[in-house]
Structure 1
Protein backbone atom coordinates (compact mmCIF):
# COMPACT_ATOMS: atom_id res chain seq x y z
CA UNK A 1 0.00 0.00 0.00
CA UNK A 2 2.90 2.31 0.62
CA UNK A 3 3.97 2.19 -3.06
CA UNK A 4 0.43 3.07 -4.14
CA UNK A 5 0.34 6.17 -1.96
CA UNK A 6 3.76 7.29 -3.23
CA UNK A 7 2.68 6.73 -6.83
CA UNK A 8 -0.57 8.68 -6.33
CA UNK A 9 1.33 11.46 -4.63
CA UNK A 10 3.64 11.79 -7.64
CA UNK A 11 0.73 11.65 -10.09
CA UNK A 12 -1.13 14.45 -8.31
CA UNK A 13 2.03 16.51 -7.98
CA UNK A 14 2.68 16.10 -11.71
CA UNK A 15 -0.89 17.05 -12.60
CA UNK A 16 -0.65 20.13 -10.40
CA UNK A 17 2.62 21.20 -12.06
CA UNK A 18 1.23 20.70 -15.59
CA UNK A 19 -2.00 22.58 -14.83
CA UNK A 20 -0.11 25.44 -13.16
CA UNK A 21 2.16 25.76 -16.19
CA UNK A 22 -0.91 25.78 -18.46
CA UNK A 23 -2.53 28.60 -16.49
CA UNK A 24 0.71 30.60 -16.59
CA UNK A 25 1.03 30.15 -20.38
CA UNK A 26 -2.60 31.22 -20.83
CA UNK A 27 -2.04 34.40 -18.83
CA UNK A 28 1.23 35.26 -20.58
CA UNK A 29 -0.16 34.56 -24.06
CA UNK A 30 -3.73 35.85 -23.89
CA UNK A 31 -4.79 37.61 -20.69
CA UNK A 32 -1.95 40.05 -20.05
CA UNK A 33 -1.54 41.19 -23.70
CA UNK A 34 -5.32 41.63 -23.89
CA UNK A 35 -5.39 43.79 -20.78
CA UNK A 36 -2.48 45.87 -22.06
CA UNK A 37 -4.17 46.34 -25.45
CA UNK A 38 -7.53 47.35 -23.97
CA UNK A 39 -5.89 49.76 -21.52
CA UNK A 40 -4.43 51.55 -24.55
CA UNK A 41 -7.96 51.91 -25.96
CA UNK A 42 -7.49 49.40 -28.75
CA UNK A 43 -9.47 46.27 -29.60
CA UNK A 44 -8.21 42.82 -28.58
CA UNK A 45 -9.08 39.70 -30.58
CA UNK A 46 -8.32 36.67 -28.41
CA UNK A 47 -8.69 34.14 -31.26
CA UNK A 48 -5.85 35.53 -33.34
CA UNK A 49 -4.18 37.38 -30.44
CA UNK A 50 -4.31 40.64 -32.42
CA UNK A 51 -4.35 44.13 -30.97
CA UNK A 52 -6.17 46.38 -33.47
CA UNK A 53 -6.59 50.12 -33.52
CA UNK A 54 -10.01 51.35 -34.72
CA UNK A 55 -9.77 53.49 -37.86
CA UNK A 56 -12.20 55.39 -40.04
CA UNK A 57 -13.59 53.72 -43.17
CA UNK A 58 -12.46 56.76 -45.16
CA UNK A 59 -8.88 56.00 -44.16
CA UNK A 60 -9.22 52.48 -45.61
CA UNK A 61 -11.01 53.38 -48.84
CA UNK A 62 -9.05 56.55 -49.52
CA UNK A 63 -12.21 58.57 -50.00
CA UNK A 64 -11.95 62.14 -48.86
CA UNK A 65 -14.67 63.43 -46.58
CA UNK A 66 -15.25 66.88 -48.02
CA UNK A 67 -17.75 68.10 -45.44
CA UNK A 68 -16.14 69.10 -42.14
CA UNK A 69 -19.30 68.34 -40.17
CA UNK A 70 -19.35 64.78 -41.54
CA UNK A 71 -15.65 64.30 -40.73
CA UNK A 72 -16.14 65.55 -37.18
CA UNK A 73 -19.15 63.26 -36.75
CA UNK A 74 -17.14 60.26 -37.97
CA UNK A 75 -14.23 61.07 -35.64
CA UNK A 76 -16.64 61.55 -32.72
CA UNK A 77 -18.25 58.19 -33.46
CA UNK A 78 -14.84 56.47 -33.54
CA UNK A 79 -13.90 58.11 -30.22
CA UNK A 80 -17.24 57.05 -28.76
CA UNK A 81 -16.61 53.45 -29.86
CA UNK A 82 -13.21 53.50 -28.17
CA UNK A 83 -14.74 54.97 -25.01
CA UNK A 84 -17.54 52.39 -25.04
CA UNK A 85 -14.97 49.60 -25.19
CA UNK A 86 -13.15 51.12 -22.22
CA UNK A 87 -16.42 51.46 -20.27
CA UNK A 88 -17.36 47.83 -20.91
CA UNK A 89 -14.03 46.83 -19.37
CA UNK A 90 -14.97 48.73 -16.22
CA UNK A 91 -18.28 46.90 -15.87
CA UNK A 92 -16.68 43.50 -16.38
CA UNK A 93 -15.78 41.70 -13.12
CA UNK A 94 -12.13 42.12 -12.22
CA UNK A 95 -9.83 39.16 -12.74
CA UNK A 96 -8.01 37.99 -9.65
Structure 2
Protein backbone atom coordinates (compact mmCIF):
# COMPACT_ATOMS: atom_id res chain seq x y z
CA UNK A 1 0.00 0.00 0.00
CA UNK A 2 1.24 3.46 -0.81
CA UNK A 3 0.12 5.25 2.36
CA UNK A 4 0.81 4.18 5.96
CA UNK A 5 -2.61 5.27 7.23
CA UNK A 6 -4.32 3.14 4.56
CA UNK A 7 -2.18 0.15 5.57
CA UNK A 8 -2.90 0.71 9.27
CA UNK A 9 -6.66 0.96 8.65
CA UNK A 10 -6.59 -2.21 6.52
CA UNK A 11 -4.80 -4.17 9.23
CA UNK A 12 -6.91 -2.74 12.06
CA UNK A 13 -10.05 -3.73 10.13
CA UNK A 14 -9.04 -7.37 10.48
CA UNK A 15 -6.64 -8.40 7.76
CA UNK A 16 -6.34 -12.11 8.52
CA UNK A 17 -3.50 -12.70 6.03
CA UNK A 18 -1.25 -9.92 7.35
CA UNK A 19 1.59 -11.45 9.34
CA UNK A 20 4.60 -9.43 8.10
CA UNK A 21 4.74 -5.71 7.34
CA UNK A 22 7.59 -4.11 5.41
CA UNK A 23 7.68 -0.34 5.80
CA UNK A 24 9.97 2.55 5.08
CA UNK A 25 11.03 4.67 8.05
CA UNK A 26 10.37 7.97 6.23
CA UNK A 27 6.90 8.35 4.76
CA UNK A 28 4.41 11.14 4.35
CA UNK A 29 1.56 11.20 6.83
CA UNK A 30 3.18 8.96 9.44
CA UNK A 31 6.69 7.75 10.19
CA UNK A 32 7.56 4.08 10.02
CA UNK A 33 8.27 4.16 13.75
CA UNK A 34 4.76 5.47 14.47
CA UNK A 35 3.24 2.89 12.13
CA UNK A 36 4.99 -0.04 13.84
CA UNK A 37 4.12 1.30 17.30
CA UNK A 38 0.44 1.42 16.36
CA UNK A 39 0.55 -1.96 14.62
CA UNK A 40 2.12 -3.61 17.68
CA UNK A 41 -0.68 -2.17 19.86
CA UNK A 42 -3.28 -3.94 17.72
CA UNK A 43 -1.28 -7.04 16.69
CA UNK A 44 1.69 -7.66 19.03
CA UNK A 45 2.48 -10.88 17.16
CA UNK A 46 2.94 -9.13 13.81
CA UNK A 47 6.45 -9.22 12.32
CA UNK A 48 7.82 -5.83 11.28
CA UNK A 49 10.64 -4.99 8.88
CA UNK A 50 11.79 -1.40 8.39
CA UNK A 51 13.61 -0.14 5.30
CA UNK A 52 15.96 2.81 5.47
CA UNK A 53 18.55 4.61 3.40
CA UNK A 54 20.61 5.02 6.57
CA UNK A 55 22.94 2.30 7.81
CA UNK A 56 21.29 0.87 10.91
CA UNK A 57 22.58 -1.97 13.03
CA UNK A 58 19.61 -3.76 14.61
CA UNK A 59 21.44 -4.27 17.92
CA UNK A 60 22.29 -0.58 18.16
CA UNK A 61 18.74 0.39 17.23
CA UNK A 62 17.34 -1.78 20.04
CA UNK A 63 19.66 -0.04 22.53
CA UNK A 64 18.68 3.43 21.35
CA UNK A 65 15.00 2.67 20.69
CA UNK A 66 14.12 -0.18 23.08
CA UNK A 67 10.37 0.37 22.70
CA UNK A 68 10.63 -0.09 18.93
CA UNK A 69 9.84 -3.73 18.33
CA UNK A 70 11.34 -4.13 14.87
CA UNK A 71 12.13 -7.67 13.75
CA UNK A 72 14.60 -6.61 11.05
CA UNK A 73 16.04 -3.63 9.22
CA UNK A 74 16.74 -3.56 5.48
CA UNK A 75 19.25 -1.04 4.23
CA UNK A 76 18.44 0.47 0.83
CA UNK A 77 19.24 -0.40 -1.79
CA UNK A 78 18.57 -4.06 -1.39
CA UNK A 79 17.83 -6.72 -3.97
CA UNK A 80 14.67 -8.83 -4.18
CA UNK A 81 16.49 -11.94 -2.88
CA UNK A 82 17.57 -9.93 0.18
CA UNK A 83 13.96 -8.94 0.91
CA UNK A 84 12.75 -12.52 0.45
CA UNK A 85 15.45 -13.84 2.79
CA UNK A 86 14.56 -11.34 5.53
CA UNK A 87 10.80 -11.97 5.24
CA UNK A 88 11.36 -15.74 5.42
CA UNK A 89 13.71 -15.36 8.39
CA UNK A 90 11.39 -13.19 10.50
CA UNK A 91 8.38 -15.31 9.53
CA UNK A 92 10.05 -18.42 10.92
CA UNK A 93 10.83 -16.87 14.33
CA UNK A 94 8.34 -17.60 17.11
CA UNK A 95 6.89 -14.80 19.24
CA UNK A 96 7.08 -16.85 22.43
TM-score norm. by structure 1 comes to 0.27
Q: Which has the higher contact order (CA 8 A, sep 6+)?
A: 2
Larger gyration radius, structure 1 or structure 2: 1
TM-score norm. by structure 2 comes to 0.27
Structure having the larger proportion of residues in strand: 2
